[in-house]
Each structure stands twice: as C-alpha cells, then as structure tokens.
C-alpha cells in the first residue's frame, strides 16, 4: 500500500534545491575571491572592515561544495543528508542574526525561510524518503 504524503514534502524538496543553488553561488563567490585581486580591507559607511579575502574565498569554495552536495542528497531522500542539512541550516539561521544590523530585510527573509525548511526537514523528512 502506498504511503500518503503531505504537501510539506514540497518544502523538503525546496530546501534541498535552495541548498544546492546556495552552494553553487557560494562556490562561485569563493572562486571570484580566490582568483581576484587580494584586498585586505573594505570601507563602507563610516566603517572599516579588515579581513583576509583569500581565506574568505577558500571557506566559501569548500562550504559551497558541501552545501551543494548535501542539497542534492536531500533531493534524493537520504536520511544522513537531512540531518546534515538541519545542522547547516541551523548554522545559517544563527549567522543571519549577526547580519541583522547590516542587512535587516534580507536577514529576516532568510530566517523565515530557514525556519520553514527546518520544520519540513525535521517533521516531514520521513515522507520525502518514502517518495
């Protein structure tokens, strides 16, 4: 007998697809930072931020690949990927609170999406494995 699934399975797939797209974007941002000119500072509205662009680029390259692979595996319904996705999305949710002063609207949108995707992965992830 076929198992009935709810509409939340779509949110699980949305989460996997969003993770894949975010991973690809992070990979290309990291690649641009690694291959671009080496800058050590960024000046914005009365603030000076000092950072290592090469380190930032390599971190985005590595995490981009990890996030993209986990997103694809969530789409295939693998249980380990769901757990890993929950950890990665939770970390993203926490970091969005740090970005609230700099980008309040974007951070709030990402926080809301992260909460929906976490809900779908945690509560309805078994349904996605069954499909």
Q: Tens digit of pLDDT per residue, the chain (131 long)?
A: 456 777 778 888 888 999 999 889 889 988 988 888 776 655 566 665 556 778 878 888 999 899 999 999 999 889 899 999 999 999 988 888 887 887 789 889 989 988 988 888 888 777 777 66
In a domain, 1, yes or no: no
pLDDT at 99: 77
Question: What is the number of domains present in the chain?
Answer: 1
**In this structure, is residue 107 part of a structural domain?**
yes
The pLDDT value given to residue 50: 54
Dist CA 30 CA 69 (whole Å) = 16
Tokens 């595996």: give the residue: 73
Range of the domain at 31: 8-130
Q: Could you tell me if residue 36 is inside a domain?
A: yes
Q: Which two tokens stand for residue 131?
A: 């499909």
Name the residue with tokens 């069954």.
130
Q: Kindly state whether residue 2 falls inside one of the protein's structural domains.
A: no
User: What local confidence, expressed as pLDDT, does residue 69 receive?
Assistant: 96
Is the model's pTM score more than 0.95?
no
Contact 7, 49 (CB under 8 A): no
Please tell me the predicted confidence (pLDDT) of residue 40: 64
DSSP states along 70-124: HHHHHHTT-HHHHHHHHHHHHHHHHHHHHHTTT-HHHHHHHHHHHHHHHHHHHHH
Is 3 domain-assigned? no
Q: Give residue 1's pLDDT.
A: 47
Cβ-based neighbours of 61, under 8 Å, separated by 6 or more: 26, 27, 30, 31, 34
């Amino acid at each position: 007998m076929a198992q009935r699934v709810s509409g939340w399975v779509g949110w699980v797939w949305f989460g996997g697809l969003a993770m894949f797209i975010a991973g690809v974007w992070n990979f290309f941002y990291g690649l641009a930072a690694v291959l671009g000119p080496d800058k050590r500072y960024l000046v914005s509205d009365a603030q000076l931020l000092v950072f290592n662009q090469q380190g930032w680029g390599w971190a985005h390259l590595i995490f981009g690949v990890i996030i993209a692979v986990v997103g694809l595996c969530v789409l295939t319904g693998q249980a380990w990927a769901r757990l890993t996705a929950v950890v990665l999305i939770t970390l993203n949710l926490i970091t969005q609170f740090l970005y609230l002063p700099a980008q309040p609207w974007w951070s709030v949108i990402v926080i809301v999406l992260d909460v929906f995707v976490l809900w779908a992965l945690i509560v309805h992830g078994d349904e996605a494995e069954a499909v």
